[in-house]
Amino acid sequence: MIMIVAGICSVLFTRLKFPAVIGYIVAGMFLGPSILGKVVVFNMDTVNFLANLGIALLMFSIGIDFNLKRLRKVGGFAILAATVEIGLMFTIGYILGTALGLGFTESVFLAAVMSISSTAVIIKVLADTGNLDKDFVEPIIGLLIVEDLLGVVILTLTSPLLTGGVPEMSTTVGIVAIIMLFIGFSLLLGLAVVPYVIDHVGKSYSSETLLLVALGMALGFSLVAVSLGLSIAIGAFLMGVLVSQSRYGEAVGIKIVPLKEVFLAVFFVSVGMLVDPMLVLTGLPIAIIIALVFIAGKTFSVTIGLYAANISGRTAFLAGAGMVAIGEVSFVIANSGVQAGVISQALYSSIIGAAILTMVILPLSIKNSQKELDWLMGHLPRPFLASLKAVEGVRAEVRTKLSYSAEKRRDIRRQLFWIFVDFTIFIMIQIFGIILLGASSLLKPVANLLHIGGSVVALVLCVALALPVFYDIHNRLRNIVTVLATAVVDDKSYQTISNTYVFRVFNRLARVFFVLILLFTLVPFGYVLGEYQSVWVLVFIGLGAILGYLIWDVVGSSYRIVSVALTRNLEDKEGEKPKQ
């Protein structure tokens, strides 16, 4: 029954020039309890079982496509851009959730749903519209690869919320630790064993046997992940990454496509079966709001992310306009939330409605993206437009000069490596602050003594501990600015460079980035510091900075110990030794 109705709807919607995914979801609505379900009773346990197979096969296929060689090919720009983009989208989604009056858990799920675009729909629409050879497609593919990876991480991190309510901070930290250990152990052991096994089976046995062995390993690893309390998706995804390192990885990927398409269709039908068409209609205004915010936010965040990754402004905007479709992983996240009862049927229906709207708008967005860019450029204030053109000219010059200077590229990579180490330490400090917030009893004596809240104590301590990190990031950014400026003006003298227009442009951009990092400090404390006025929050940050300065020797030495511990086993091919 599912295949018959899904096939009919797929044909109808494909002839109407809509993605087949919309047909599957509509088929699910038709088969759901509101329409045909009143006549035919479906065994939802069986449907959900088949849908879970679709999730596992989807993530296994994504893992094979994600392979480590392809990640290296898309380069660091995709990782940087996707990190900025998803961070912005998650923030936009959470703010939208709170503005709509949703609780913490529903706002987090809405933010997670809005963070990921649809790989399948976007690639299909790009192919159908004849845009696969355009210059903005490569950044889109790179972002989609990294988005799928981060989507798996988001899906796993939201799993504690499926029990309902807000999880304890210490529990969340424990789950993050389990995820990291599971991924690390899987990659270390798997890279040594799995490719060898797949190569041996592919060489010695038939293609059917190869497919069965690969599927057995994928589903078996999903079972291991579930037994550890993690998502079924992360086990299948990791096995896909491991299989992709085999010489037969591409062959497995090709063989898996028909199975994936069949069971993924069942998954999308199951998504539709949970939707009440009447709720979609009554929740249409909310769906329109979610869709419009997603489209505007996605275009903006992708443009900012790619621009920060040194992609031209025009290419960045066109790529952003080509990614405005809510993705498959988002459906998995929303589906898990509604089945666990932590998000309402009304919100779920609005999310599905918004996703359908974005899929319908995507072809129009791609077709009209150049017109939208021209309109935007024509309505920007002239001084701002002149500054943008100047920055774009400088960036183009930098790209050209750096392509001829291996030494400058090496120096920038070295600085970025240590900024990454600083970010790792910074996140560790934030986790420490989150644990303090969760274990509020530890802060009560100090808070009562100073007549302030425990969240203030946690914030002050985190700022004090992070002071050496801020200082090092500031210096690293300044070093990068100097290298970029010398690449343009071909002058090694720092005193001369620091007085040039080019240096001032890059320095201002670095300061904006640095301010964003400082604001990121407040993220874990935002919902508990809401009772204080912004002036007081700035005072608390200032107190943390003063405390950090007073105990600089202690926090500085601790920072050096942690940075050396994190980098002790890393080989730095550029010849720089870890800080002592």
177 versus 61: the higher-pLDDT residue is 61
Query: Do 494 and 520 reside in the same domain of the chain?
Result: yes
Query: Do 279 and 367 reside in the same domain of the chain?
Result: yes
| pLDDT, tens digit (0-9, with 9 covering 90-100), for 237-263 | 888 888 888 888 889 989 988 888 888
Query: Do 305 and 429 reside in the same domain of the chain?
Result: no
In a domain, 573, yes or no: no
Q: Does residue 116 carry a pLDDT above 80?
A: yes
Q: What is the pLDDT of residue 577?
A: 44
Of 349, 379, 409, which residue is a domain's last? Answer: 379
In a domain, 384, yes or no: no
* Minimum mean pLDDT range among 181-195, 390-404, 457-471: 390-404
Give the domain extent around 518.
393-567
In a domain, 227, yes or no: yes
Of 379, 402, 431, which residue is a domain's last? Answer: 379
In a domain, 385, yes or no: no
Indicate the average pLDDT of the chain: 76
Secondary structure (H, E, C), 173-213: HHHHHHHHHHHHHHHHHHHHHHHHHHHHHHHHCCHHHHHHH
- 512-537 average pLDDT score: 58
- 482-505 average pLDDT score: 60
In a domain, 86, yes or no: yes
In a domain, 578, yes or no: no
Model confidence at 514, in pLDDT bands (50, 70, 90)?
low
Domain count, the chain: 2
Q: Are 478 and 415 in contact (CB under 8 A)?
A: no
Q: What is the pLDDT of residue 571?
A: 40
- 269-289 average pLDDT score: 84
Q: What is the pLDDT of residue 296?
A: 92
Q: Does residue 17 carry a pLDDT above 60?
A: yes
Model confidence at 18, in pLDDT bands (50, 70, 90)?
confident
Q: What is the pLDDT of residue 447?
A: 58
Task: State how far Cα 188 lies from the chain centre.
Answer: 24
Calpha distance 242→68 (Å, rounded): 9
CATH number, domain with residue 33: 1.20.1530.20
Model confidence at 360, in pLDDT bands (50, 70, 90)?
confident
Query: Do 105 and 136 reside in the same domain of the chain?
Result: yes
308 versus 530: the higher-pLDDT residue is 308
| pLDDT, tens digit (0-9, with 9 covering 90-100), for 396-442 | 766 676 666 777 777 877 777 787 777 767 767 766 766 666 555 55
Query: Do 210 and 261 reside in the same domain of the chain?
Result: yes
Distances (CA, A) of 80 to 311, 508, 572: 11, 19, 20
Query: Do 432 and 339 reside in the same domain of the chain?
Result: no
Query: Do 397 and 374 reside in the same domain of the chain?
Result: no
Q: What is the pLDDT of residue 60?
A: 87
Of 327, 350, 379, which residue is a domain's last? Answer: 379
In a domain, 150, yes or no: yes
Say what percent of the chain tops pLDDT 70. 70
- 205-229 average pLDDT score: 88
In a domain, 579, yes or no: no
- 538-553 average pLDDT score: 81
Query: Do 407 and 312 reside in the same domain of the chain?
Result: no
- Report DSSP letters for 391-412, one per residue: HHHHHHHHHHHHTT-HHHHHHH
3-class secondary-structure state, position 498: coil
Is the pTM of the predicted complex or chain greater than 0.85? Answer: no
Query: Do 317 and 200 reside in the same domain of the chain?
Result: yes
Calpha distance 194→214 (Å, rounded): 9
Query: Do 293 and 202 reside in the same domain of the chain?
Result: yes
Query: Do 365 and 407 reside in the same domain of the chain?
Result: no
Query: Do 245 and 328 reside in the same domain of the chain?
Result: yes
